[in-house]
């Protein structure tokens, strides 16, 4: 059984003006997603600015989210690191605390070989007793998980169950599904490719778009699962202009501003990320209004 099916939100992390985590606002965001159609909460991923969190902040944020969700939705904790020891320790702690799943990005900067990736993911899976979704996003990490590597890990390691595929390479995704005979929990990592990946057998999406349009992102998946392919496709295409603006600058700069524009002030970004430009903000506002998202 998959950790979740449908649209999981790669949730933003709200900060206070001093850049400490704003847990009151995070609590509000959690309740918002639990009541607006989101199918899972993915905490401390790229969109959550995990790269600028201390390990203490990281695991406290995971624990807070699990406590506040209270089983209403599955919680997937981002626990990846470019240091295998760190990934092991964070993954063990998140699993022990009750995370429904773990999302592990490929080690960044190190640029591991495929053998290194196998060793890395196997080491984490051996210690952390929770289902693991590998996260392939070479545009950020400089390290691609090749389809044969994905297939080997899913076949040989019991609790490695899935992959979040953000390569943008549909041929690579198809090869993964071929080599695994479809026996893998595949999630789209790109909001503009939800339907294409669902057509290849994906279980859903780990989504930035869900931060501002949770019901619509859920519906893209749900309509597809119910056989309304035309309806799913229509929603996907209608969302494309908004998705474009959510990535007009590096994620999560635009989406964090978008959530604030909806009336849920998420505070500043942590450097080296900086605020969205005025030009891009205007285009983002127009895309949100055109999509029917109410602004504060």
What are the Cα distances from residue 54, in Å, to 1, 38, 86, 131, 251?
Answer: 33, 27, 11, 24, 20
Given the residues 23, 56, 111, 164, the one annotated as active site = 164
What are the Cα distances from residue 201, in Å, to 174, 205, 223?
Answer: 9, 12, 14
What are the Cα distances from residue 91, in Å, to 101, 105, 275?
Answer: 9, 12, 31
The region, left, alpha or beta by phi > 0 then psi within -120 to 50, assigned to residue 193 is alpha
Token pair, residue 55, equals 């390990």
Which residue pairs, CB below 8 angstroms and at least 24 apart, start in 29-35?
Answer: 29/259, 29/264, 30/65, 30/68, 30/69, 31/68, 32/214, 32/264, 33/9, 33/73, 33/210, 33/214, 34/69, 34/72, 34/73
Residue given tokens 């506002």 in the structure block:
285
Given the residues 56, 70, 135, 282, the one annotated as active site = 135
Assess whether 164 carries a catalytic annotation.
Answer: yes
Residues forming the active site: 135, 164
């Amino acid at each position: 059984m998959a950790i979740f099916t449908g649209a999981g939100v790669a949730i933003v992390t709200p900060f206070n003006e001093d850049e400490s985590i704003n847990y009151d606002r995070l609590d509000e965001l959690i309740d918002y997603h639990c009541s607006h159609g989101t199918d899972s909460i993915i905490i401390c991923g790229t969109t959550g600015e995990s790269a600028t969190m201390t390990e203490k902040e990281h695991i406290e944020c995971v624990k807070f989210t699990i406590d506040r969700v209270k089983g209403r939705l599955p919680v997937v904790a981002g626990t990846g690191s470019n240091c295998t020891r760190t990934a092991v320790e964070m993954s063990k702690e998140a699993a022990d605390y009750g995370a429904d799943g773990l999302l592990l990005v490929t080690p960044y900067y190190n640029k591991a070989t495929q053998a290194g990736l196998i060793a890395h993911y196997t080491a984490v899976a051996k210690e952390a007793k929770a289902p693991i979704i590998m996260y392939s996003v070479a545009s950020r990490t400089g390290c691609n998980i090749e389809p044969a590597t994905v297939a080997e890990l899913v076949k040989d390691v019991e609790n490695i169950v899935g992959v979040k595929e953000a390569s943008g390479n549909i041929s690579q995704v198809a090869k993964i599904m071929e080599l695994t005979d479809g026996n893998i929990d595949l999630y789209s990592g790109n909001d503009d490719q939800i339907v294409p990946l669902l057509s290849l057998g994906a279980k859903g999406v780990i989504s930035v778009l869900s931060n501002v349009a949770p019901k619509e992102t859920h519906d893209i998946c749900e309509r597809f699962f119910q056989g309304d392919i035309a309806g799913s496709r229509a929603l996907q295409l209608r969302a494309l202009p908004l998705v474009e603006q959510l990535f007009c600058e590096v994620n999560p700069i635009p989406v964090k501003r978008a959530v604030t524009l909806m009336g849920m002030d998420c505070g500043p970004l942590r450097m080296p990320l900086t605020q969205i430009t005025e030009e891009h903000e205007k285009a983002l506002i127009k895309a949100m209004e055109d999509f029917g998202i109410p602004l504060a």
